């Protein structure tokens, strides 16, 4: 019997941990919006201030049902920002119409895309009566408060990939008579993790460029 089979308990433990992590990510993505108040907002300054709102901040009760019309709301400066978004095919499609009210008053908005797990992305094209000083305060929120939820998913995914590569290397050791030196195993794991991570980041950037979200 191959002497490397003594690694089997370790491999089993890692596989169980991977299954738990993937299950957690699935549940995390499938969970409804949890934020009632905007915790992160991207502000483009110019002649007017444009707010780019992350869909994970919204409360969209029907967002998971592939509805053609999404009704969403969120609190901003203690006032409710209500949105009615018309999409081509529900979540994961193009937003063709955006109707928004802030504190009961109609405001101009623009939405281009709605993703199943991230929700709609909406640009509010008015100042909403918020002062320039307050906009600056919003822009200077702590970086942890401005990170979108998908960023944490990317960080979790790096860890999952790292574990998956280790599982692959351990299986290779089990099925062969050779053992990879620790330094080479570490190098393969780190390079593989970084490569997949940057591929995902590049794919996201290209998608955003095509959608016009990056100037």
- Regarding whether 131 and 48 lie in a shared domain, the answer is yes
| Residue 35 belongs to some domain of the structure | no
pLDDT at 101 over 80: yes
Domain of 123 in residue numbering reads as: 41-140
Domain boundary among 140, 166, 185: 140
Domain boundary among 88, 110, 140: 140
Phi/psi for 94 (5° steps) reads -80, 140
Domain boundary among 116, 140, 164: 140
Greater pLDDT, 82 or 19: 82
Query: pTM, whole model, 2 decimals?
Result: 0.45
For residue 124, the model assigns a pLDDT of: 80
Please state the domain count of the chain.
Answer: 2
Spell out a b/e string for 82-103, using b for 16 or more CB atoms within 10 Å of the CB, else e: bbebebeebbeeebeebbbbbe
- Regarding whether 18 and 50 lie in a shared domain, the answer is no
Interval 121-144 mean pLDDT? 68
| Residue 7 belongs to some domain of the structure | yes
Distance, C-alpha 86 to centroid of its chain: 22
Query: Which residues sit opposite 50 in a β-bridge?
Result: 44
């Amino acid at each position: 019997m191959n002497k490397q089979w003594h690694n089997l308990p370790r491999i089993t433990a890692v596989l169980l941990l991977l299954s738990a992590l993937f299950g957690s990510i699935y549940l995390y993505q499938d969970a409804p919006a949890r934020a009632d108040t905007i915790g992160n907002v991207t502000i483009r300054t110019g002649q007017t201030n444009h707010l780019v709102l992350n869909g994970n901040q919204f409360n969209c009760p029907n967002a998971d049902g592939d509805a053609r019309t999404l009704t969403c709301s969120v609190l901003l400066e203690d006032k409710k920002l209500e949105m009615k978004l018309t999409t081509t095919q529900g979540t994961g499609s193009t937003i063709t119409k955006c109707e928004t009210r802030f504190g009961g008053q109609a405001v101009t908005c623009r939405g281009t895309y709605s993703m199943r797990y991230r929700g709609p992305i909406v640009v509010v094209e008015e100042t909403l009566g918020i002062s320039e000083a307050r906009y600056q305060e919003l822009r200077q929120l702590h970086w942890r408060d401005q990170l979108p939820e998908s960023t944490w998913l990317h960080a979790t995914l790096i860890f999952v990939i790292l574990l998956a590569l280790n599982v692959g290397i351990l299986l290779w050791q089990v099925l062969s008579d050779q053992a990879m030196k620790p330094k080479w195993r570490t190098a393969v794991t780190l390079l593989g993790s970084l490569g997949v991570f940057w591929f995902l980041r590049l794919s996201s950037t290209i998608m955003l460029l095509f959608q016009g979200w990056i100037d």
